[in-house]
């Protein structure tokens, strides 16, 4: 039996009451975090153009666009919301799976909830937790023991089609066979590559939105009776054989399914950039704070990283140290370290069109050299080592194995609330303070809500 049947059955047979407390807790953190990040990204390039395009196209007013309050066909609204949420690369991540679960599950579940009406907070949390488990398992099972970046896929987008399809189909009340059909129709659309990161272009932030639109469309087609591959994951021409040449682990994919939930291991990001940069930011901040190193003290900086980090976030150095676009800066270890040493803790204002022209950060980044250290190789989030030599001839270094926000060092709901409020303040257009307060309270007790549409009414900008 293909794993798609097991995932379909897991949605149906895992009510809210069966979810572990830590999976529920982390799902609430994800929801509050994602809403804040999406509001902060609501006026960014990519999302703006999608809004313009869909306004031109029109369509049934089924679901809400964050901030704007516009009503669009549910797949279109979900696509825009996902693009907003991924624009800043500040959304949640499963480190070992190399995956952003919330941008797929939360946007899908909210738009589907509006479409069907009366979606309870408990069922919403269940869809986010079970869907997050599915997309994380799909990532964890892929090419075990290998660093996946070299294969060129953008895994959130690639797997998001099938997961969004499953979440939507389940919430639509479809049976096991039709959930499997939806996954199969989603698989027929799977795409998403990492070249957008290499070229520093907007399609990186737009990929998950394409997946959500395609996945929701797949489920709506399955509801109408359209069939999709029944062996979408493990068939002879299924996902793992076609996209990964059969390199996957069935045991990792479905082992302890329904008992162990990977949602409990999803990380909320403390810094607005690719998660792979975070250990290096932690190391640079440790040097700055522990040794009192000031920007004017720095003579040169040495960074050591693993092969995956080097290829994705360190090279070519000329583009990582002098970004061509905000996307370049979001995916740059040198930029993250330079910001940390020159300004302290990185924030949203350090990853903008204006920021990448900042002389203080560029001058600091110009002092950076980067080298490969095989001891830092990892199949998940790679460790970091940073050393700073001062003008006085002193050398200070830091090694970080477990970054801030990682399992074992995770952010609390209070930490997530602080991040949410900062995102609201940083948004070009804002929801009211009263609505922000209401969002925090609503999400904290969302399992008591009879209809999550009440949450969406709070996410409209002040006029």
Provide DSSP, 303-343.
EEE-HHHIIIII-SHHHHHS-SSHHHHHT-HHHHHHHHHHH
pLDDT of residue 401: 93
What are the start-end ranges of the E strands in 9-97? 63-64, 71-72
Sequence-distant (6+) residues with CB within 8 A of 74 are: 62, 63, 111, 112, 114, 115, 216
Q: Do 180 and 122 reside in the same domain of the chain? A: yes
pLDDT one-digit tens code per residue, 344-403: 999 999 999 999 999 999 999 999 999 999 999 988 889 999 999 999 999 999 999 999
Whether 161 is in a domain gets the answer: yes
Q: Do 42 and 170 reside in the same domain of the chain? A: yes
Q: Give the DSSP letter of residue 100.
A: -
CA dihedral 410, 412, 416, 422 (to 10 degrees): -100
Q: What are the residues facing 68 on neighbouring strands?
A: none
Whether 328 is in a domain gets the answer: yes
Whether 462 is in a domain gets the answer: no
What are the start-end ranges of the E strands in 337-460? 368-372, 384-390, 395-400
Whether 303 is in a domain gets the answer: yes
pLDDT of residue 146: 86
Q: What is the CATH number of the domain that holds 347?
A: 3.30.1330.120
Q: Do 100 and 175 reside in the same domain of the chain? A: yes
Residue 224, exposed/middle/buried by CB under 10 A (0-12, 13-18, 19+)?
Answer: exposed
Which of 355, 377, 400 is the last residue in one of the domains? 400
Domain that holds residue 335: 275-400
Q: Do 42 and 121 reside in the same domain of the chain? A: yes
Does the pTM surpass 0.95? The reply is no
Sequence-distant (6+) residues with CB within 8 A of 208 are: 82, 83, 85, 86, 100, 103, 104, 107, 156, 157, 160
pLDDT of residue 463: 67
**Cα Rg of the chain, angstroms:** 21
What are the start-end ranges of the E strands in 28-185? 63-64, 71-72
Positive/negative CA dihedral, 90, 95, 98, 102: negative
Give the closest residue to 369 by CA, choosing from 324, 395, 323, 333.
333
Which of 400, 426, 441 is the last residue in one of the domains? 400
Domain count, the chain: 2
Whether 248 is in a domain gets the answer: yes
Cα of 225 vs its chain's centroid, Å: 32
Q: How many CB atoms neighbour CB 460 within 10 A?
A: 18
Sequence-distant (6+) residues with CB within 8 A of 270 are: 278, 404, 405, 411, 415, 419
What are the start-end ranges of the E strands in 8-151? 63-64, 71-72
Q: Do 35 and 104 reside in the same domain of the chain? A: yes
pLDDT of residue 462: 87
Q: Do 254 and 342 reside in the same domain of the chain? A: no
pLDDT of residue 409: 84
pLDDT beneath 70, residues of the chain: 463
Sequence-distant (6+) residues with CB within 8 A of 334 are: 303, 314, 317, 320, 321, 365, 368, 370
Q: Do 117 and 191 reside in the same domain of the chain? A: yes
Whether 405 is in a domain gets the answer: no
Whether 463 is in a domain gets the answer: no
**DSSP string covering 250-311, please?**
HHHHHTTTTTS-GGGGPBPPSSSS-GGGHHHHHHHHHHHHHS---GGGEEEEEEEE-HHHII
Q: Give the DSSP letter of residue 193.
A: B
pLDDT of residue 150: 84
What are phi and psi for residue 69, nearest 5 degrees? Answer: 80, 0
Whether 95 is in a domain gets the answer: yes
Q: Do 174 and 226 reside in the same domain of the chain? A: yes
Q: Do 365 and 441 reside in the same domain of the chain? A: no
Give the closest residue to 32 by CA, choosing from 406, 345, 412, 462.
412
Q: Do 450 and 333 reside in the same domain of the chain? A: no
Q: Do 283 and 244 reside in the same domain of the chain? A: no
Q: Give the DSSP letter of residue 383.
A: P
Do residues 330 and 272 lie in contact, with contact meaning Cβ atoms separated by under 8 Å? yes
Q: Do 350 and 258 reside in the same domain of the chain? A: no
Positive/negative CA dihedral, 177, 257, 218, 168: positive
Positive/negative CA dihedral, 388, 390, 395, 398: negative
Which of 400, 425, 445 is the last residue in one of the domains? 400
Q: What is the CATH number of the domain that holds 260?
A: 1.10.4100.10
Give the closest residue to 112 by CA, choosing from 198, 189, 170.
170
């Amino acid at each position: 039996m293909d794993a798609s049947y097991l995932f379909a059955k897991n949605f149906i047979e895992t009510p809210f009451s069966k979810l572990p407390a830590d999976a529920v807790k982390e799902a609430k953190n994800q929801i509050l975090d994602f809403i804040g990040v999406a509001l902060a990204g609501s006026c960014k390039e990519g999302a703006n153009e999608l809004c313009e395009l869909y306004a031109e196209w029109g369509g049934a007013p089924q679901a809400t666009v964050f901030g704007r309050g516009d009503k669009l066909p549910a797949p279109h609204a979900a696509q825009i919301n996902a693009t907003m949420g991924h624009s800043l690369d500040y959304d949640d991540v499963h480190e070992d799976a190399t995956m952003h679960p919330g941008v797929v599950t939360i946007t899908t579940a909210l738009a589907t909830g509006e479409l069907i009406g009366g979606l309870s907070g408990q069922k919403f949390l269940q869809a986010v937790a079970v869907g997050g488990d599915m997309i994380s398992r799909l990532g964890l099972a892929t090419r075990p023991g290998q660093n996946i970046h070299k294969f060129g896929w953008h895994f959130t987008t690639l797997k998001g089609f099938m997961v969004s399809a499953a979440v939507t189909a389940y919430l639509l009340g479809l049976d096991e066979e039709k959930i499997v059909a939806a996954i199969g129709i989603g698989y027929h659309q799977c795409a998403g590559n990492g070249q957008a990161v290499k070229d520093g272009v907007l399609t990186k932030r737009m990929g998950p939105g394409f997946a959500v639109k395609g996945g929701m469309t797949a489920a709506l087609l399955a509801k109408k009776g359209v069939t999709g591959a029944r062996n979408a994951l493990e068939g002879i021409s299924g996902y793992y054989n076609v996209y990964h040449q059969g390199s996957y682990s069935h045991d990792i994919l479905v082992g302890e399914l329904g008992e162990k939930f990977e949602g409990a291991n999803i990380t909320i990001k403390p810094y607005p950039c690719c998660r792979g940069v975070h250990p290096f930011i932690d190391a640079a901040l440790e040097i700055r704070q522990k040794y009192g190193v000031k920007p004017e003290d720095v003579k040169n900086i040495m960074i050591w990283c693993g092969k995956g980090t080097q290829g994705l976030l360190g090279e070519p150095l000329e583009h990582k140290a002098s970004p061509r676009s905000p996307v370049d800066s979001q995916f740059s270890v040198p930029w993250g370290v330079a910001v940390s040493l020159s300004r302290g803790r990185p924030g949203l204002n350090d990853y903008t069109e204006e920021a990448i022209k900042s002389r203080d950060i560029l001058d600091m980044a110009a002092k950076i050299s980067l080298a490969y250290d095989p001891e830092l190789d990892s199949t998940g989030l790679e460790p970091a080592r940073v050393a700073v030599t001062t003008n006085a001839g002193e050398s200070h270094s830091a090694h970080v194995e477990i970054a801030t926000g990682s399992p074992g060092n995770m952010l609390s709901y209070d930490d997530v609330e602080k991040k949410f409020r900062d995102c609201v303040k940083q948004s070009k257009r804002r929801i009211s303070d009263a609505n922000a307060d209401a969002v925090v309270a609503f999400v904290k007790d969302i399992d008591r809500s009879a209809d999550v549409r009440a949450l969406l009414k709070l996410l409209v900008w002040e006029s």
